[in-house]
Amino acid sequence: MQRLKSAPEAKTTGRPYVGSHDAEKSLAGPFKPSCKHTGVWSAQAVANRFEDAAVTARRLPSANVQGYFNAWPTIVRCQWELLARDERVVCRFPPTPQDVQDMLEVMLWVQWLEVPQRHLVWMRAKRYGWRDICTRFGMCRTTAWQHWQKSLQLIADKLNASRKS
């Protein structure tokens, strides 16, 4: 999720300023371009949107398979047993409908890329290190960065072309 930034902070961080667009948010239907970005798309703006989409996807509630249940009784554990358990209770704030809509818009952009490019862009959006990416794709850091930039620029070019027409 992208938090609201003041105009001076947006200038120093390089990320776009996001104002409040409550009226426009309510009018935007599904899969329509969001009102977050105005102007020409750049590779950095596309990368920021992918990061926001990855954060939103992580904040979504987990999908449980319907139809399966556990008939065993719950086990009452002592305090010291609870501290040693592997599973952790994760409390996340659910994303707003606008965040989910923006994430779905980014998911449509992914279809413009080849499968290896998709994996590369999503790994960077999920903040994987370059070492992990280089190991996964079998290339050096500079080459992986160039492929990542090329993928982002491809999406930015398609967005700019669709904006003009």
DSSP the chain: -PPP--HHHHHHH-SPP----HHHHHH--TTSPPTT--S---HHHHHHHHHHHHHHHHHSPP-PPTT----SPPPP--HHHHHT-S------PPPPHHHHHHHHHHHHHHTTS-HHHHHHHHHHHTT--HHHHHHHHTS-HHHHHHHHHHHHHHHHHHHHHHHH-
Q: What number of CA atoms fall less than 13 Å from residue 136's CA on the CB side?
A: 16
Q: Exposed (0-12), middle (13-18) or buried (19+): which is 75, by Cβ within 10 Å?
A: exposed
Give me the residue spans of the domains in the chain.
1-21+37-59+93-165
| pLDDT string in tens for the chain (165-residue length) | 444 444 444 444 454 444 333 333 333 334 444 446 668 999 999 999 999 999 999 998 877 777 777 788 888 888 888 777 777 666 778 999 999 999 999 999 999 999 999 999 999 999 999 999 999 999 999 999 999 999 999 999 999 998 887
